[in-house]
Amino acid sequence: MSFPEQRPRRLRRSPAMRRMVAETRLHPADLILPVFVREGLTAPAPISSMPGVVQHTEASLLTAAEEARDLGLAGIMLFGIPATRDAQGSAGLDPDGILNRSIRAVKDRVGDDLVVMSDLCLDEFTDHGHCGLVDETGEVDNDATLEVYAEMGVAQAAAGADVVAPSGMMDGQVAVIRQALDEAGHQHVPILAYAAKYASGFYGPFREAVDSQLTGDRKQYQMDAPNRTEALREVELDLAEGADMVMVKPASAYLDILSDTAAISDVPVSAYQVSGEYAMIEAAAANGWINRRTVITESLIAIRRAGATNVLTYYAAEVAGWLREELAGPRSTSAPAAPVPTSSPSAPSASTPVHPRVEPHTTAAPVEASAPGETAPPTRTDGESTDEPRTDAGFPPVS
C-alpha cells in the first residue's frame, strides 16, 4: 500500500497527536548540569562567551546545587578553578583544594538527593593548561599522569563525589582509577569515562570558563575529528577497563559517534553538549536569527534521539524548568498560562547579573494557537511563528 492510502501526515495533525507518537522525550532526569566554581570569587562571575553561565562562588555553587536538586536533574558535573596553579596540578589533589572542598560542601548540602559528579582532569589545575604532566620534551606523559589521576580520583571519592569523570583521554586511565578507588575502599563509586572525546574547536568558550592556561592544543591525546571507527576502539577499551558509563563529546557534531556508541555499549551513554554548542545557539538567538527555545529543545532531542541516555548541557536547569512548567500548565487552550517558575536558571543567585535575552522565554504559547479557523499567531521578530505548542516537543507526563 502506498499513497493515497499511506499518509504519514495523519499522525502530525495536532500537538496531542504528535505527542502521542513522539519517539524521543526529554525529562529533567536526563539532564546533567556542568557547573564551575572558582576559588576566591566574592560574587558569581559571568562568562562572556557563555551568556547566562557563570563561574560560581563557593556559596552560589550551593544554591545552584539546591536548584538542580529541586528541578529533579540527573546530576551536576563540578569543575573547579583554583587561585594558584603549578606544573603538577597540585591543587587538584589537595583534599582542601577548591574542587575537593566544593564536592564536600555540595554533598553536605544536597546529600543523596542529587548525583554529584566531578571532572577528573588536570587541565584546570596546571599552569601549562594540559590535561596531564608534561615531560622534558614538552609532551604529555601518559603513564606519569595516570598515577596522578589515581590519586585525584581517590581524593574526589573521599570528598564524597558520587561519580568521578576522567576527561583527560590518557590511555589506561579508567583501569588505573578503578583500581585505586577499589584499593581505597571506594568500590561503590562509579566512573563516567569520557571515552570518545575529540580535540574540538567547540571547547573554545570553556577555555574562558576555566581561565585555561593552554597555549597549544590537545591533539596528541584527544581524538581526531575524521575518525569514527577509532571511537569504538576507545569505547571498548574503556568498557573493558571497567567504565560504568561512557561519554561522547562534543555532542551535536558527533551524533554518528554517539549513535555508534549507543549501539555497542552495555552501559549508559552520556553526551556532552559543550560550551561552543551553547555559545552558537546563544549568539544566533541573541541576533534574532533562530528561535532560542525551539533550537535548544531540538538540539537536546537530537542528542537523545542519536542514543544518549543523558546529556550534559549548560541548559539543564533552564530546560528542566520548561519541562516542569509544561507539565504543570493547563493543556486547554482556554485556560490561563502557567506561571513562570521562581527559580530561573539564568539567575542562579540574586547577585548574579541576568543576561538580557533578545527573546525572553515566556510561558509557552497557547496550544494549537494556529488551529484551523483560529486567528493567526503573531509573528516573531526572528521570523518564526509563535506556534510552538508547549506540548509539542514530546515531553512526558511525570508521575
Which CB sits closer to ligand PBG, 300 or 364?
Answer: 300
Residue of the chain from 30, 39, 67, 123 that contacts ligand PBG (CB under 6 A) = 123
Q: What are phi and psi of 210, to 5 degrees?
A: -110, 15
Query: Catalytic site residue 219?
Result: no
Rounded-to-integer distance, Cα 193 and Cα 172, Å: 11
Rounded-to-integer distance, Cα 322 and Cα 297, Å: 10
The interface region with ligand PBG, picked from 52-60, 119-127, 342-350, 362-370 by CB under 6 A, is 119-127
- Answer yes or no whether residue 203 interacts with ligand PBG by CB under 6 A: yes
- What is the pairing mode between strands 45-46 and 54-56? antiparallel
Helix (H) or strand (E) holding 37, with range, is strand 31-38
- Answer yes or no whether residue 274 interacts with ligand PBG by CB under 6 A: yes
Q: What single letter denotes the amino acid at residue 56?
A: H
- Residue 327: all three cell numbers together: 507539565
- HEC profile of 292-321: HHHHHHHHHHHHHHCCCCEEEECCHHHHHH
Which CB sits closer to ligand PBG, 203 or 254?
Answer: 203
Quick check: 35 and 77 in contact, CB under 8 A? yes
Q: How far is the CB of 54 from ligand PBG (least distance, A)?
A: 14
Q: Which is the catalytic residue, given 85, 104, 186, 197?
A: 197
- Answer yes or no whether residue 193 interacts with ligand PBG by CB under 6 A: no
Query: Catalytic site residue 107?
Result: no
Q: What are phi and psi of 205, to 5 degrees?
A: -65, -25
Size of the site for ligand PBG (CB under 6 A): 10
Q: How far is the CB of 328 from ligand PBG (least distance, A)?
A: 30
Which CB sits closer to ligand PBG, 246 or 274?
Answer: 274
The interface region with ligand PBG, picked from 1-9, 21-29, 118-126, 289-297 by CB under 6 A, is 118-126
**How would you label 235-273 residue by residue, b for 16+ Cβ within 10 Å and e otherwise?**
bebbbebbbbbbbbbbbbebbebbebbbeebebebbbbb
- Answer yes or no whether residue 206 interacts with ligand PBG by CB under 6 A: yes
Residue of the chain from 119, 241, 325, 326 that contacts ligand PBG (CB under 6 A) = 119
Please report, as residue ranges, which positions from 151 to 190 form the binding site for ligand PBG (by CB under 6 A): 167
Q: Which is the catalytic residue, given 249, 293, 324, 390?
A: 249
**Which residues bind to ligand PBG, rule: CB under 6 A?**
119, 121, 123, 131, 167, 203, 206, 218, 274-275
Among all residues, which ones are annotated catalytic? 197, 249
